[in-house]
Amino acid sequence: MPSLPVIDLEGFPSTGAARDRIASGLDAAFREYGFCIVTGHGVPMGLRDRAFAASRAFHALPEAEKRAIAVNAFHRGYIAPKTSKIVTSSVDTVTKPNVSESFMMMHPVAADDPRFGGPLQGPNQWPADLPDFRSAVEGYYRVLDETARHLTRLLARALGQRDDLFDRHFEYPTVYLRLLHYPPVSAEADEDLFGSAPHTDYGFMTLLAQDEIGGLQVRATDRQGGGWIDVPYVPDSFVVNVADLLSYWSGGRWPSTPHRVLNNRSGRDRYSIPFFFDMAMETVVEPLHPYAEGVTPIAGPGPVRYGDYVMERFDKNYAYRGGAGEKAG
């Protein structure tokens, strides 16, 4: 079974052959897998450890305290177990809600911001009795935002474009920082019970920090032998993947690869922190190059507005928006 490439970002060199070499490595990895593992990103391990500690503390709270900040209309707050179901999956028929819970923070939007009140443009929510939680999460968010912007410029270069190709679309990005907890399931649990059912991500790219428990799998192509590739835990790294609209932007050069999460069946809890870095809601995406003949675009045909694309999926997949999954009690 193949394994995901590991690419050293070397602290994001600003010029020269090193930058071209890294961009070339990213291009090769994304062409083959739509995924890679990156090191040399410059995010301090202490900052990430603090974010994981905050996540474990939050998920250890009594259920009533978590539900006191249940996810709001702006997709911020606590998402309870089994309240999402990926019915928009293009890669599988999902029969059961996801067995996971999460805290969702998104990009801050001030009350006097002209965007405030629009789709996904509202206040974050914070637990009342975790005094260090907000500072840990917001501190991690700020550093990841900077890291993602550096990486976005490398991706433009990897596509043979100017480094600043995407910059204007990320002046006001749509960002989701999700503290995920996957509780263990019994060894006899149904095979179609997932922490996260097979799916692709919706927007631009995802940077995932995961713990050592394992469970993330990436679907291999027929040429790679089919089946599912286990994504290993690599200390001080992020798993990076192409999402639907970046795949579409690339003209299908980079696939948005299906992936899933299996809950641990040996009694161990899994924690991960995905950072979904997406474009502004009003961004309209069209392929940089025509799709190859016979290849079906993951989005389109024609121009696709990110805000419309993502809200359609949220409305169908989340119970709090009237979609699939069980209503939070």
- Bridge partner residues of 196 (DSSP): 261
Tokens of 234: 């690599």
Q: Summarize pLDDT for 239-278 with one digit per residue, the tens.
A: 999 999 999 999 999 999 999 999 999 999 999 999 999 9
Q: Alpha-carbon distance 260 to 228, whole Å?
A: 9
Q: Summarize pLDDT for 27-66 with one digit per residue, the tens.
A: 999 999 999 999 999 999 999 999 999 999 999 999 999 9
| pLDDT value for 326 | 61
**What SS3 class is residue 46?**
helix
Please provide the size of the chain in residues: 329
| pLDDT value for 93 | 57
| pLDDT at residue 1 tops 80 | no
11-20, 136-145, 150-159, 204-213 — which is least confidently predicted? 11-20
DSSP letter assigned to residue 294: T
Report yes or no: 169 and 288 within 8 Å, Cβ to Cβ. no
| pLDDT at residue 89 tops 60 | no
- Bridge partner residues of 216 (DSSP): 261
Q: Alpha-carbon distance 105 to 303, whole Å?
A: 29
Q: Alpha-carbon distance 306 to 175, whole Å?
A: 13
Tokens of 73: 């209309």
| pLDDT value for 213 | 97
Grade residue 87 by pLDDT with cuts at 50, 70 and 90. Answer: low
Grade residue 174 by pLDDT with cuts at 50, 70 and 90. Answer: very high
Average pLDDT (230-245) is 97
b/e 129-157 (16+ beta carbons within 10 angstroms → b): ebeebeebbeebbebbbebbeebbbbbbb
Q: List domains and CATH numbers for the chain.
A: 6-321 (2.60.120.330)
Report yes or no: 124 and 106 within 8 Å, Cβ to Cβ. yes
